[in-house]
Amino acid sequence: MAPLELVIFTILTAISVVSGSSLSLDHRCRCIPGDACWPSAKQWDRLNSTLQGRLIATSPLARVCHGHDYNQESCNELKTNWDLPETHMYVPGEFDAPYWQTNETCNPFTPINSLCTLGNFASYSINVSKAEDIISGFEFAQVHNVRVVVKNTGHDYLGKSTGKGSLAFWTANLKGSTLIPQYTSKQYKGPALKIGAGMTAGEVYQAAYSLGYRFVGGECPTVGLAGGYSQGGGHSPLQSIYGMGADNVLEWEVVTPTGEHITATPDGPHADLYWALSGGGGGTFGVVLSMTSRIHEDGPVGGANLTIVAADNTQASLDALWEVVDYFHANELGPIVDKGITLTYSLTNVSFGFYAATAPDQTGAYISDALASFTRYLDAAGITYELANTTSASYYEHMDYYFGPMPLGRYPIAQLTGGRLIPRATVLGGDAPRQKLISAFRDITKNGDYYLAFTASNLELASAAGNVNTSRNAVLPTWRSSIFHVITVSPWDLTLPREKFLTRQDELTGTVMPLLEAATPGSGSYLNEANFQQPNWQKEFYGVNYARLSDIKAKVDPLGLMYGRTAVGSDKWAEDAEGRLCRI
């Protein structure tokens, strides 16, 4: 590999002499279709030839609902399945979050006679199969001044995996896993699993299960674990015992924007890049080909769910429900998570309940015992509830029961989201801070436009067990002192006018999130499940790590080729009115 300085000099020289282009060394904006500098069809064809046919021009799924391509049967089927991640996962250029379908340029719910244009979709995707594909893509983007994004499975609330006129590295087909029975490094000796970047949680859980192990991953089975999930931190039902996804990563195989194909480990020559990739966010430091992570011996997993619904919509019944919510957080949540149980639960304006409690190497009875104090309170208060527990023989079976059916699960994707990390001290440090928080929850959910989803745990248990070394990664430090992460969710009804949800997004930014921030001053937000319009996102998403992350970004991507909204380095760029990415 040529020295970095030579690579950059060669790139800049090439840019300055591109035929038929208006580019210059001080050119401020990336090129988009229609610009004089946009690559010609012949230039794209040459890239496709270099890639041996792996370049794909974006053709939106919803074209079957518009114009000359209209097909009623296909369109109706697409409408039925549009809200499912599997509809978009394995289609290049497609993505989950409806907000980023800018101006509804092509979706199945707009009129048949409306135009189907690319809008905010990537123009082309490279179906990545090897490092050389990525290197060729970066070289092309550098020479032709084209925006670069990364799409794995497309689970992306913040719009990082798409962009007008972009060239997308599509990594979803990098499948496969390899068991390493005895991985050996200064930091760890034990079993590990190397997974391709395109492996989804459901696929990885199945692979680990077949080998007698469990793998730290999230609740949604269709998320790519080596993508933004682990690169952003990665919360998990196993985190109380083993730490977060990023805490378990041993090495990254990655191609940087300068064309270097490297393996980054915590003790090797690329330790800074390892640190940044392990919690500093995806889509900005390089394109990951594979990830190697610790795996853990499998065994029984205790599970449970509990549901409480207000008796009716009277004020008295709703007040009784919120008294339960306050009591639970004041008296029960701390002792439960301190037993190594991770709770995933939800709150609406009329209901409260756990859709899964997870206790590795325990039984359902263990969880019921941990909940006994709470159920006694409910019984004494005359509150009706439903409680059931399970003991699964493996983590895979537990996940299949509570978050399946594997490998796809049942997660709708059309929604607006915000998120906040809630410090343990806010919940357990006295009545005043907790009650302010619960009041915010009630205000947010009161009219039914939003519900709240929680992941609660005690991450200090994993640290105490020696499973986490926080200095080895860039996970937002606030995670370690938080008792839960809460997501504000507003389902997006695709049959209603888009303007309704654009207004709601503004409400989320201007009204909803400030309620949570006021109740948790000095905390932060999980960068993968947050409000993309979050003010001061550098501090909220990255905290004290941002300065070091920015320095690493400048080293591995000196030309700023990789861009994602709210990703490290994105504060040096902004989109103009036409969607063109320009330096600030």
**Full DSSP string of 96-117:** S-GGGSGGGSS-TTS-TTS---
d(CA 584, CA 581) in angstroms, rounded, equals 9
Where does 4-173+545-583 sit in CATH, by number?
3.30.43.10
pLDDT of residue 105: 73
**Does residue 132 contact residue 73 with C-beta atoms inside 8 Å?**
no
Q: What number of helices (H) and strands (E) belong to the chain?
A: 21, 20
Class of 301-540 in CATH: alpha beta
d(CA 374, CA 282) in angstroms, rounded, equals 40
The two three-digit tokens of residue 221, written as one number: 């089975």
Domain boundaries, the chain: 4-173+545-583, 177-297, 301-540
The angle at the Cα of 579, spanning 577 to 582, to the nearest 5 degrees, equals: 90
pTM over 0.75: yes
The two three-digit tokens of residue 105, written as one number: 């340029």
d(CA 351, CA 443) in angstroms, rounded, equals 14
Residues 6+ apart with CB under 8 A from 117: 105, 106
Tell me the angle at which helices 201-210 and 395-403 cross, rounded to the nearest 10 degrees. Answer: 150
d(CA 555, CA 269) in angstroms, rounded, equals 14
SS3 273: helix
Neighbours of 288 (CB within 10 A): 28
**Does residue 427 contact residue 333 with C-beta atoms inside 8 Å?**
yes
**Does residue 33 contact residue 166 with C-beta atoms inside 8 Å?**
no
Tell me the angle at which helices 41-50 and 131-144 cross, rounded to the nearest 10 degrees. Answer: 160
d(CA 274, CA 267) in angstroms, rounded, equals 9
Q: Alpha carbon 328 to chain centroid distance?
A: 29
d(CA 163, CA 165) in angstroms, rounded, equals 6
Strand ranges in 467-570 using DSSP code E only, listed in sequence order? 482-491
**Does residue 124 contact residue 57 with C-beta atoms inside 8 Å?**
yes
**pLDDT (tens place) for every residue of the chain, 584 residues total:** 444 444 443 444 444 444 334 443 347 999 999 999 999 999 999 999 999 999 999 999 999 999 999 999 999 999 999 999 999 999 999 988 889 876 567 889 989 998 899 989 999 999 999 999 999 999 999 999 999 999 999 999 999 999 999 999 999 999 999 999 999 999 999 999 999 999 999 999 999 999 999 999 999 999 999 999 999 999 999 999 999 999 999 999 999 999 999 999 999 999 999 999 999 999 999 999 999 999 999 999 999 999 999 999 999 999 999 999 999 999 999 999 999 999 999 999 999 999 999 999 999 999 999 999 999 999 999 999 999 999 999 999 999 999 999 999 988 899 999 999 999 999 999 999 999 999 999 999 999 999 999 999 999 999 888 778 778 999 999 999 999 999 999 999 989 999 999 999 999 999 999 999 999 999 999 999 999 999 999 999 999 999 999 999 999 999 999 999 999 999 999 999 999 999 99
**Does residue 539 contact residue 523 with C-beta atoms inside 8 Å?**
no
Phi, psi values for residue 153, rounded to 5°: -95, -10
Nearest residue to 262 (alpha-carbon basis) of 236, 286, 295 = 286
Q: What Rg do the C-alpha atoms of the chain give, in angstroms?
A: 24
Nearest residue to 371 (alpha-carbon basis) of 388, 350, 383 = 388
SS3 446: coil
The angle at the Cα of 572, spanning 569 to 573, to the nearest 5 degrees, equals: 105
Nearest residue to 512 (alpha-carbon basis) of 487, 494, 493, 536 = 487
The two three-digit tokens of residue 270, written as one number: 């690329």
pLDDT of residue 305: 98
Start-to-end CA distance of the chain, whole Å, equals: 31
Q: Which CATH number fits domain 177-297: 1.20.1630.10, 3.40.50.720, 3.30.465.10, 3.40.50.300?
A: 3.30.465.10
d(CA 578, CA 412) in angstroms, rounded, equals 30
Count the residues in the chain. 584
List beta partners, residue 527. none
d(CA 256, CA 237) in angstroms, rounded, equals 31
d(CA 518, CA 538) in angstroms, rounded, equals 18
